[in-house]
A and B are shown apart, each in its own frame.
Chain A
Amino acid sequence: MSDGYLRFESVTKRFEPIQVVAETDLSIARNDFVVFLGPSGCGKTTLMRMVGGLDTPTSGRILLDDRLVGAPDRRRGMVFQSYSSFPWLTVAGNIAFGMRYRDDLRAAEKAERVDHYLGLIGLEAFADHYPNRISGGMRQRVAIARTLAAGSDILLMDEPFGALDALTRERLQVELRRVQLHEAKTTIFVTHDVEEAVFLADRIVVFSQRPARIVAEIDVTGRLGADRSLDLRESRPFFELRNEVLHLIRHESGDPA
């Protein structure tokens, strides 16, 4: 089912004295869009952060392309929910910051890439704006573009649309799907929003309450196809799958909500 591009082998995590992640095995294929779905505070974010090297497993190991993941580097880029862009840099400056520590690109190439990603996220007109002058949705696009510009192989997204209004969130979900297909990036997206998970994911991994334990894996692309448009949200298969996942969450993960 997967080529095991990213593999979790018996990974656990304790923040003494609390067990945050129970023993977890998981394999993620290259270019897959995987959503970690589970109740708030269950440990799914910690699992994702360990891929980024921002936390280290208490036991077990994580392999990327058959190599042990270590300290953070630009191959594994993060997009956060808040404080996602640097307020002292313009939109273009933020995207350029993604390449600040790349010595392999010449200045002209960097400028070209900034233009390319500004175009990809549709913010050419806002290149010289500071983050506090643009909307929350635009700020999240900037963060995504910055990570792409850095040339990361994996996108790690921690509830990036959690603070946005419903309409903006839907639009960004469509765009993220498009960008992810276009750029062919393996993506781990953490959320507790079931609809968001179903709409975005190739595959959903459902986690229990803390300590996080995988309770189900759902092949969304097998059910809904890879093509996601806003119309899909109103279709019967989408609703059926959504209800199925919701049911699963309520009964399997023991989420009181």
Chain B
Amino acid sequence: MNPLFAFRGRPAPSVEILCGVVFAVALIAIWEAASDLGWIAPTFLPSPSRVAAATWTMVTHQNLLWHAGVSTVRVWVAFLIAAAMAVPIGILMSSYRIVGATLEPTIDFIRYLPVPALVPLSIIWFGIGEETKIFLLWLGTFFQLVLLVADDARRVPHEYVEIARTLGGGSRAVLVDVVFRAMGPTLVDNLRITLGWCWTYLIIAEIVAADSGLGFVIWSARRFVKTPEVMAGVIVIGIIGLVTDQILRALHRRMFRYL
């Protein structure tokens, strides 16, 4: 039996990395060949080299990095507002059943409203400035996150809470010293996942109502069927997402060494 394909086995880490890189490179090579050999019209699928060239032109002449920066700032502002609200409210919802019983039906209802359906309403309320974008992103993440946080806090083993209480800890102390600490790893995981959702809602917001940001760049390029620029915009989002995720994962490992 080939050890590479041992059922639930563990190949060497270097082999795993190699396989991941080879697959991605092969995919790009096939894509390049498909365009260069004229299998697919470049208007639909420009070759990777053309996308790369377009990306470079956009960086040097069309302020692509500035647009990326604008989008990133919007995502983080909305995400931080949502997180700053969701974490305390979620913990309170699970710590005091009455808070949970009061808020949960409403939150559950709003959570199921599709964000794109609320874009018109948001424009009526806030116009097409930054407020609309921040509001839509907040809407898309806060209501999801608050329930995730409440669940994380609820899943902290009751034993931990009772141990702390029989050591003389009051409810505030137990909340901070035990519940918050115990839920740390899942909380950071959920924050990381929700941050990813923010990008989805951001593009929707920027397509509909913006004159800056990556969504705007992608949508304007589409109007002139500049497919390479459309793809460049999408790829930049992918890269930002990948880098952010890796940084947060590394942070997770550093913060929770005990896992």
Contacts and interface: CB of A to CB of B under 8 A. Distances in A.
Given A86-B182, A100-B177, A73 B162 contact: no
Interface stretch (B98-106, B166-174, B192-200): B166-174
B159 to A, nearest CB: 4
A143 B177 CA distance: 17
B160 A86 contact: yes
B184 interface: yes
Contacts of B170: 101
| Chain A interface, DSSP helix/strand/loop, else mixed | loop
B182 A101 contact: no
B168 A88 contact: no
Interface string A32-60: 00000000000000000000111000000
Given A86-B178, A88-B181, A101 B173 contact: yes
Given A88-B256, A100-B177, A74 B163 contact: no
Given A80-B163, A86-B178, A74 B168 contact: yes
Contacts of A88: 181-182, 184, 256, 258
A133 B76 CA distance: 37
Contact of A84 (B159, B164, B165, B184): B159
Contact of B258 (A52, A132, A143, A147): A132
Given A54-B162, A80-B163, A150 B258 contact: no
Given A83-B157, A88-B258, A101-B173, A73 B163 contact: no
A82 B160 CA distance: 10
Contacts of A130: 257-258
Given A88-B181, A88-B182, A132-B258, A101 B159 contact: no
A18 B259 CA distance: 40
Contacts, number: 75
A100 B167 contact: yes
Contact of A83 (B160, B166, B177): B160
Contact of A77 (B167, B169, B177, B256): B167
B166 A76 contact: yes
Contact of B181 (A77, A86, A102, A131): A86
A46 to B, nearest CB: 13
A119 interface: no
A78 B163 contact: yes
Contacts of A97: 164, 167, 177
Contacts of B184: 88
Contacts of B177: 97, 100
A194 B166 CA distance: 28
Interface string A87-119: 111000000011011100000000000000000
B166 A101 contact: no
Nearest to A82: B159
A72 interface: yes
A72 B159 CA distance: 13
Contacts of A86: 160, 163, 178, 181-182
A52 B166 contact: yes
B166 A54 contact: yes
A123 to B, nearest CB: 16
* Residue in A72, A98, A152 whose Cβ sees the most chain B Cβ within 10 Å: A72
A101 to B, nearest CB: 4
A209 to B, nearest CB: 25
A74 B162 contact: no
A166 B177 CA distance: 34
* Residue in A80, A89, A101 whose Cβ sees the most chain B Cβ within 10 Å: A101
B173 to A, nearest CB: 7
A72 B258 contact: no
Interface of B: 157, 159-160, 162-170, 173, 177-178, 181-182, 184, 256-259
Q: Shortest 10 CB-CB distances between A and B: which pairs?
A: A74-B168, A101-B168, A83-B159, A130-B258, A83-B157, A72-B165, A78-B166, A80-B159, A72-B166, A150-B167
